[in-house]
Amino acid sequence: MQDVLIKPDATGIYDLVIDGADFASAEGFETAIATSLFTDARAPAVQVQEAQDRRGWVGNILYLDNGREIGGLLWILDQARITEDTLNFAKQFAMDCLQWMTDDDVARSVEVIVNQSDTRSVKIYTNVTTVDNTVLRYVTLWRDTDLSRNIS
């Protein structure tokens, strides 16, 4: 899947990559996975009680009609201690926000594994089986609140 290429800069923040006079582009799922994992989806009322604290992203308004939004709920876990529960939630949130890839037949299947990396970070392994049965592996390091980055 051809998309604009975004990469973490020296501070760990994702940014556009410039190629000459244009944005750089890349074939693959790296950009799409990062976009889905780290765009804030609006939290449902059961997750976050106060409406003004539910975040979300304005660009999603076009998709509200059919109930599909870009992004996930990993942001809810920003301040959480890393426990087994947190890892399970992280895996579920990651699976949910990547569901569109199989729904839209962009990929044949998507598998997510979440492991604790050290005391302050987790690694999100995303294995994408493409339509031609190639398996692509992506590892996303999610560390503290703002220092998320792809390491492969």
Judged by the rule CB under 8 A, the positions of this chain that interact with another protein are: 1-4, 6, 22-23, 25, 31-32, 34-36, 39, 57-63, 68, 70, 100-101, 104, 106
Q: What is the 3-state secondary structure (H, E, C) of the chain?
A: CEEECEEECCCCCEEECEECCEECEEECCHHHHHHHHHCECCCCCCCCCCHHHCCCCHHHHHHCCCCCCCCECHHHHCCCCCCHHHHHHHHHHHHHHHHHHHHCCCEEEEEEEEEEEECCEEEEEEEEEECCCCEEEEEEEEECCCCCEECC
Closest approach of another protein to the CB of residue 61, in Å? 7
Closest approach of another protein to the CB of residue 91, in Å? 19
By C-beta, is 62 or 113 nearer to another protein?
62
By C-beta, is 61 or 80 nearer to another protein?
61
By C-beta, is 5 or 77 nearer to another protein?
5
By C-beta, is 3 or 8 nearer to another protein?
3
Closest approach of another protein to the CB of residue 23, in Å? 6
Closest approach of another protein to the CB of residue 94, in Å? 14
Q: At 30, list the tokens.
A: 């790296």
